[in-house]
Amino acid sequence: MVMYLRWIRYAHEGGPLEEGTLEGYNLTCPWHYAVFDIRNATVSDATVWATELTSYPVRIEETTGDILIDLRREKK
């Protein structure tokens, strides 16, 4: 199983990405329909007007179940 774990900070107009639609790797924002690739948090060529997401790698600690967000490795 492949998982894409990233903590995403959305920089467009603050649309609720958690309410977006996921088709394959494409996450569509419900407000203005910007499309982002969940594997790398880049905006689709079809909606380049949208600001790219800022994301951080996330890891789940196997022994404790803690969710760790690496804020040092920001990706824009």
Give the footprint of ligand FES on this chain (CB under 6 A).
12-13, 15, 29, 31-32, 34, 50
Nearer to ligand FES, 52 or 75 (CB): 52
Nearer to ligand FES, 31 or 68 (CB): 31
Cα torsion at 8, 12, 13, 17 (round to 10°)? -40
Name the minimum Å distance from CB 10 to ligand FES. 7
Is the separation of the CB atoms in 35 and 43 below 8 Å? yes
Q: Which residues contact 19 (CB under 8 A, 6 or more apart)?
A: 30
Name the minimum Å distance from CB 5 to ligand FES. 21
